[in-house]
Amino acid sequence: MRERVERVPVVVQGRRGRRGRAARLVWGGAEAAVTCGLVLLLLVVHQLWWTNRQAREGAERKVQALEREWGSGSGQSADGGSGRSPGDAVDPGRGGPGPDPAGSDLGGPDSGDGESAGRQQPAPRRQTDPAPRWDQAYAVLRIPRIGIRVPVAEGISKGAVLNKGYVGHYPRTAQPGQGGNFALAGHRNTHGEPFRRLDRLAGGDELVVETKRAIYTYVVDQVLARTSARDSGVIRAVPRSLVKAGHGYSSPGYYITLTTCTPEYTSKYRLIVWGKLKSMRPR
């Protein structure tokens, strides 16, 4: 009796089968790429649009709250002729070096310092504002040239100050109207980006700082487009670049310093705007 031999069919995969697997792999890769692209797009939208919207709305609410607290809903700025006649004593105030986490640059060559320009006018003696608490919003900065109205808070913490769309005051630098250097930092991109257009400021533009007791008008004096992120000299009591020789000041005065990152969307360098106190108007 013959044994029955079973024949097992052999399937030979040809080019069509290999092409099918390749097509599935390509399709799967395309789906993964599209998914990753959508996730990245959502992250970009969140950073460039949503964080700006949230921070700007929160900052505007804080400005309105401060104005209600001060009883000044009009938001008017001090003009050049409204300040008191200041004395001639110079009080450099306190100031100190420190890093600039928000990004900043220096001012241009010294254009208003020295005997030929006269001593900078100090603010009149007055009852000083109480020392602000850490992370507390206690002033409003207005820059008409670029349409900015933003709260000023104590400290330069990203989470508690800068990422809320506020401008941060460097610790150990002067307060508004004091002798020395009232130094501020702000984001240039994302989280409200209050200093986005800081590079558009030029000599003569006004920087108005309002507090509970007074309105101070500073005038832009120098702008430096780029300096190192570690150039701590720009926020000292007598601001002067430690990197860019000849940029800054050499004698005490009543200064304001605005710092932010440059170029846009990077934090490699710093952009600095310096101004001098022009007038003070009590509330």
Does residue 225 contact residue 231 with C-beta atoms inside 8 Å?
A: no
Q: Choose the catalytic residue: 169, 191, 261, 281.
A: 261
Using DSSP's 3-state secondary structure scheme, residue 147 falls into coil
Q: Report how far residue 62's alpha carbon sits from residue 42's, in angstroms, rounded to the nearest whole number.
A: 28
36 is catalytic: no
Does residue 130 contact residue 108 with C-beta atoms inside 8 Å?
A: no
Q: Could you tell me the CA-to-CA distances from 76 to 70, 71, 203, 216, 217 in Å, in that order? A: 13, 12, 22, 12, 12
Q: Which uninterrupted H or E stretch holds 39?
A: helix 15-45
Q: Choose the catalytic residue: 187, 240, 247, 281.
A: 187
270 is catalytic: yes
Q: Report how far residue 66's alpha carbon sits from residue 138's, in angstroms, rounded to the nearest whole number.
A: 8
Does residue 170 contact residue 235 with C-beta atoms inside 8 Å?
A: yes
261 is catalytic: yes
Catalytic positions are 187, 261, 270
